[in-house]
Structure 1
Amino acid sequence: MAPSRARARSIATDGAANRLRFLALTSGRPLWDLAQRVQPVRRHLNASLIDHAVREMPPRPEPLSTMADYTSWASLTDRTFSGRHMPPVSGPEGGRPTPEQAADLFTRGDAMIPCPRSTVLFAYFAQWFTDGFLRGDTHVPRDPRKNSSNHHIDLNQLYGLDEAATAALRTFDGGLLKSRLVNGAEFPPKLCENGKIKDEFSALSVIRFDELTDAQRDTLFATGSDRGNIQLGFTMLTVLFLREHNRVARLLAGHYPRWDDERLFQTARNILIVLLIKLVVEEYINHITPYHFRFALDPRLSTMLARAPWHRENWASAEFNLVYRWHSLIPSKLAVGDRELPMAETLVGGALIPGPGLGRLFEDASRQRAGRIGLFNTDPVLRAVDVASVAESRALKLAPYNSYREHCRFPRVRRFDQVSGDARVSEALGELYRNVDDLDLYVGLFAEEPGAPNAMLPPLLTKIIAIDAFSQALTNPLLASRVFNAATFSPHGMKVIATTRTLSDVLHRNVPEDPRPRFVSMTRQGAR
């Protein structure tokens, strides 16, 4: 049963400054359109709005990490521990549900609540993009304090986390990555033969490999990420970027015949990383925000933001990892070619791609609506992930929801109906938590109601995403003012970056098996 939305949460609890900013950015579209037509004005607004968004929280370096509850040189430099925005806080004695009870708040009923704007492609991209740098500990048992991240947007989904993995994936000829042709189009090579990882790919790994049958192992692709085969959407995007890397490498080889393999590979890699960051800023973030202003990746942006206090070395935080668990986006059944498959059947789903073809699957994902991010909307198959998320947040002693509201310059809420006007949500919270100050951050983030009917995300979640996403993407060394130029990327590489604005652009130049025009978008047709 879908929750009723007859009575909306009052946005008065978000504070006057936050309400005025939201109103200004979502009203007066003709004025915003006019401002964006004047390039100097657009550049200034772009830098100013980004800077203001990130300054809503104290900047890095954080005084604490998950290493300890005090500051040390090690805690300021050892990035195998995750950053943290707030000091650890011991939870209340009682007054909170068990992680299992809290996870029940996320479970979907008979029908999915659809997102007003998003397609399944958005869900696929969100998982694939963030899994590149929001990487938890890979040891068993898992240590929630630790991570296995490089803390950069570096396309390790394609290139691997280290040089050994990268070398295993390269041909060392013409700057290309290894691939094989299926139906006239490139795919990653097979990772395994007879259930065993091939010697040439010994530097690669796959999560939960021991749980797979030999038949499943023989369908796996050799990819940079240990999660590269985890789900159909993840694998689709890796295949697409493999094709784009090799396309760009061949383009560079044609224009610069004196370049050796190493320079061709490294330049193509640079181009692909910035291409991804551009898609994140200009398609992904613009899809998330309901604003009339459209953010852009301008080569001058790093210079304009160089003195911003947050322009520091990347360090992914425990909170950022937590806010990106958007499992409610995923429908219980997914469109795959001419079939609708239960989500579980798309896990380890690379073998599903060649039949319909990459273009068809991207269009399928673009025409299917995603679920709305929030409570009571996650497929029961993923319940264990929500249990683990609540348990890990408590193991890390993350401060409660209200403390993070205050940290992000929102007023504290006093009642559960100020978190959500949906009676089903507010009453369920009231039954499980002693009072609103006991509300877990993880639960509160997704219980909070969006500030407008067409908004995808609630206010606190939006603010944390904006703070961490912009500061994570725009501090990439490839965007530095002395690096983001033709000397690094080549004139033709700069043209590739400049002329690419959407995933649709990338897809349509990489589907030789079926080159027909297709609708490819994170935003559903007809959505505003």
Structure 2
Amino acid sequence: MARRIPLAANLKSLFDRGAHLADRTIGWHRLPKPLGLLVLVGLRDILRRENLHDTSKLPATDLPPVPSPTAESRMARTADGSHNDPDDPRMGMAGARFGRNIPNDRTFPEVPPRIMSPSPREVSRELLTRESLIPATSVNVLVAAWLQFMIRDWFSHGRSPTDRPWEIPLADGDPWPERPMRVMRTRPDPAGNPSPSTPPTWANTETHWWDASQIYGSTPDHQKIVRSGEDGKLRVASDGLPVMPDDPNLDPRRVPGFWLGVLMMHALFTLEHNAICDRLRGEFPNWSDEELYQRARLVNAALIAKIHTVEWTPAVIAHPTTRYGMRANWWGVAGERLHKLFGRIGDGELVSGIPGSHTDHFGVPFALTEEFVAVYRMHPLVPDEFHLRSSSDDNPLLDATLRELTGDPAVETARKYGMTDLLYSFGTEHPGLVTLRNFPRFLQEFQRPDGHVQDLAATDILRVRELGVPRYNEFRRLLRLAPARSFEDLTDDPELAERIRTVYDGDIERVDLMIGMYAEKRPKGFAFSDTAFRIFILMASRRLNSDRFFTTDYTPEIYTRAGLDWINEATMTSVLLRHHPSLRHVLRRVPNAFTPWPRS
């Protein structure tokens, strides 16, 4: 036995080196599907080994207290995400630090004057401004709504302090209403211990776990507001929408980024939670409100994770290899049909998928990372104009701009036209492609709920620099990808390459991560870049591997058999039809609810 371990390790190392070589010389997406999958497996092994870095051990002051464990926290998700890992109860809880996918000593933020070079506003105006929508024709606008809905669960840096804002100089002729442009700094880590020799850290105000906290909240007080107190259900207003809290600190309409698409997804999965409660009440008529609520939350959160894994992602990165690979993350290489017939085959993730396998942090405490946040800056998915139409006859109802569908007007529109017609409208229109010159115009002059106007494109550029995420070429080197040698390497559009060269004064090393990712040539079927995909290869599976409620506790004892059956059988299409059955005439012809729907 002692001789076999080094042999296995050597074979694995050889396999990983071969995968890296094949990717660098040929490209995983150019290989036949079986070989491409093997290369992706090898790349993920390397990323797990080389690109998970712990920030929790960096110096800290006065960490927030962790609530004491309870009997309920063994069987259910806690409000703040604590006690997911019994051996490290702070892991992934609200307030925990973001991790890193690059070494901590490479994460020092840029400082003036480099952080303003080139001007984020110039980058926004010259390289990101949308003249007309460049559509992603393989998907529909529900893709954009879904992603915004997910992000509200995954991460937030919290409210920015208002003192010492960044000041961005403006060019002559820039029509911005104030000079200079002011962008509030990212909220520092409340438990941070900044020093010149230690890279700063930032904390996530949400839980890091995939636990549907955008619906349920990350605090006990928030959960009390959204719960009805009866049969485990969430509160739903008479108009069918989630109840909006009176507290402005909890009202989603007051949060930047709230728009009609987020409201639609929130409403849909609030109703889904209540439908799960009805199913569980039928199976367990003596259960309390608390028991029904906690089990329904587990089922709803897992269903959302499943839909993202096997439907949303394969629609957005619709290469044959990645479509198969993402489904294998959930069902394993044995596939969905065998899984439903025979259940799990063994306890590993390869054959039967990650749900129900062993929990594994791969040597680093679980946390979402700043690099994960950076690659998910995908505002180009959102159109500027929406054409709302009737699902019954396709007749026009309303033409509206994104500006007219944010904040309070989003709720008013939903009440006036109803979710069925809104879902139909989103399902039959295309989002934007995540590429240059395709940033929503409205978001370049976005008025926050507090009245402050900001250019979100310029803010996105500045944020990545501020948070210590390297620029494009260095980012690729740290992921063992070839850097761009010239501006022509970035894009096959000569005019665009020249425009990027001008903005960056001829220095390819200064090109921002977001600009490089938006410019680069994408694999077939991809709506975003291969560089972003590298972080996705690592973090998409890690969010499942590290969470005991998706691994060791993904069992009938925790979820109930009825709950697991619900997750196994449900799809985005079945969720839509459960609550909006009049969409059946459209959805019966759609293989994936995130791909374009036929018109009525």
Query: Could you state the TM-score of these two structures normalised by the residue count of structure 1?
Result: 0.79
How does 1:155-170 map onto structure 2 within 5 Å? 155-170=212-227
Q: Which residue of 1 aligns with 2:402?
A: 343
CA distance in 1, matches of 2:91, 2:290: 31
Q: Which residue of 1 aligns with 2:433?
A: 372
Alignment CA distance shift 1:493-1:281 (3 Å): same
Counterpart selection for 2:319 from 291, 295, 300 = 291
Alignment CA distance shift 1:253-1:204 (3 Å): farther
* SS of alignment partner, residue 284 of structure 1: helix
Worse-superposed segment, 92-101 or 442-451: 92-101
Q: Which residue of 2 aligns with 1:111?
A: 132
Alignment CA distance shift 1:278-1:413 (3 Å): same
Is 2:179 aligned against 1:143?
no
* SS of alignment partner, residue 181 of structure 1: coil
* SS of alignment partner, residue 549 of structure 2: helix
Counterpart selection for 1:440 from 487, 505, 512 = 512
In structure 2, what residue type is equivalent to 1:395? E
Deviation at 1:122, TM superposition (A): 0.5
In structure 1, what residue type is equivalent to 2:422? L
CA distance in 1, matches of 2:579, 2:252: 28
Cα deviation, 1:312-348, whole Å, max 9, x if unaligned, reads 5431212211211211111210123322211110102
The 8 Å contact of residues 443 and 456 in structure 2, kept in 1 or not, is answered as yes
Alignment CA distance shift 1:106-1:518 (3 Å): farther
CA distance in 2, matches of 1:307, 1:249: 28
Deviation at 1:443, TM superposition (A): 2.0
Deviation at 1:525, TM superposition (A): 5.4
Cα deviation, 1:66-100, whole Å, max 9, x if unaligned, reads xxxx9447799795442232322547966931111
Q: Which residue of 1 aligns with 2:289?
A: 261
Q: Which residue of 1 aligns with 2:23?
A: 17
In structure 1, what residue type is equivalent to 2:441? P
Cα deviation, 1:394-427, whole Å, max 9, x if unaligned, reads 2223222111111222112210110111123211
CA distance in 2, matches of 1:379, 1:387: 12
Deviation at 1:204, TM superposition (A): 5.5
The 8 Å contact of residues 305 and 311 in structure 1, kept in 2 or not, is answered as no
The 8 Å contact of residues 134 and 149 in structure 1, kept in 2 or not, is answered as yes
* SS of alignment partner, residue 521 of structure 2: coil
Q: Which residue of 2 aligns with 1:84?
A: 100
Deviation at 1:149, TM superposition (A): 2.1
Q: Which residue of 2 aligns with 1:99?
A: 120
Alignment CA distance shift 1:310-1:416 (3 Å): farther
Cα deviation, 1:344-396, whole Å, max 9, x if unaligned, reads 10102022123332222112111101111111011222121111122222222
Deviation at 1:439, TM superposition (A): 1.3
In structure 1, what residue type is equivalent to 2:508? V
Counterpart selection for 1:402 from 451, 473, 481 = 473
CA distance in 2, matches of 1:248, 1:271: 8
Is 2:507 aligned against 1:500?
no
Is 2:47 aligned against 1:56?
yes
CA distance in 2, matches of 1:460, 1:515: 37
The 8 Å contact of residues 124 and 457 in structure 2, kept in 1 or not, is answered as yes
Alignment CA distance shift 1:174-1:208 (3 Å): closer
Q: Which residue of 2 aligns with 1:187?
A: 241
Alignment CA distance shift 1:471-1:154 (3 Å): same
The 8 Å contact of residues 138 and 147 in structure 1, kept in 2 or not, is answered as no
Cα deviation, 1:499-518, whole Å, max 9, x if unaligned, reads 013x2211110126x46443
Counterpart selection for 2:419 from 352, 358, 367 = 358
Q: Which residue of 1 aligns with 2:235?
A: 178
Alignment CA distance shift 1:109-1:395 (3 Å): closer
In structure 1, what residue type is equivalent to 2:29? F
Alignment CA distance shift 1:102-1:518 (3 Å): same
CA distance in 1, matches of 2:234, 2:124: 41
Counterpart selection for 1:486 from 538, 556, 559 = 556
Cα deviation, 1:131-186, whole Å, max 9, x if unaligned, reads 2112122243352534312111111111011111111211221111111333xxx3
Deviation at 1:106, TM superposition (A): 4.3
Q: Which residue of 2 aligns with 1:467?
A: 538
Deviation at 1:288, TM superposition (A): 2.6
Q: 5+ residue gaps in structure 1? A: 1-13, 33-44, 192-196, 210-225
* SS of alignment partner, residue 187 of structure 1: coil
The 8 Å contact of residues 381 and 432 in structure 2, kept in 1 or not, is answered as yes
Q: Which residue of 2 aligns with 1:413?
A: 484
Alignment CA distance shift 1:308-1:208 (3 Å): closer
Cα deviation, 1:194-232, whole Å, max 9, x if unaligned, reads xxx2xxxx49523684xxxxxxxxxxxxxxxx56x8100
CA distance in 1, matches of 2:431, 2:60: 44
The 8 Å contact of residues 99 and 388 in structure 1, kept in 2 or not, is answered as yes
Q: Which residue of 2 aligns with 1:277?
A: 305
Q: Which residue of 2 aligns with 1:236?
A: 264
Cα deviation, 1:39-75, whole Å, max 9, x if unaligned, reads xxxxxx79x956743643645751447xxxx944779
* Count of matched residue pairs: 460
Counterpart selection for 1:430 from 501, 505, 509 = 501
Alignment CA distance shift 1:285-1:51 (3 Å): farther
* SS of alignment partner, residue 340 of structure 1: strand
CA distance in 2, matches of 1:244, 1:404: 40
CA distance in 2, matches of 1:351, 1:162: 28
Cα deviation, 1:446-472, whole Å, max 9, x if unaligned, reads 2222134x3322210222223222222
Alignment CA distance shift 1:172-1:132 (3 Å): same
Alignment CA distance shift 1:205-1:100 (3 Å): same
CA distance in 2, matches of 1:150, 1:422: 41
Alignment CA distance shift 1:307-1:330 (3 Å): closer
Higher RCO (Cα < 8 Å, 6 or more apart): 1
How does 1:20-31 map onto structure 2 within 5 Å? 20-24=27-31, 27=32
Q: Which residue of 2 aligns with 1:381?
A: 442
Q: Which residue of 2 aligns with 1:331?
A: 383
CA distance in 1, matches of 2:466, 2:287: 52
Alignment CA distance shift 1:20-1:319 (3 Å): closer
Worse-superposed segment, 164-173 or 392-401: 392-401
The 8 Å contact of residues 288 and 456 in structure 1, kept in 2 or not, is answered as yes
The 8 Å contact of residues 51 and 305 in structure 1, kept in 2 or not, is answered as no
CA distance in 1, matches of 2:356, 2:44: 15
In structure 1, what residue type is equivalent to 2:374? L
Of all paired residues, the percent bearing the same amino acid is 20
Counterpart selection for 1:246 from 271, 274, 279 = 274
The 8 Å contact of residues 356 and 554 in structure 2, kept in 1 or not, is answered as no
CA distance in 1, matches of 2:490, 2:21: 14
Alignment CA distance shift 1:206-1:190 (3 Å): closer
* SS of alignment partner, residue 115 of structure 1: coil
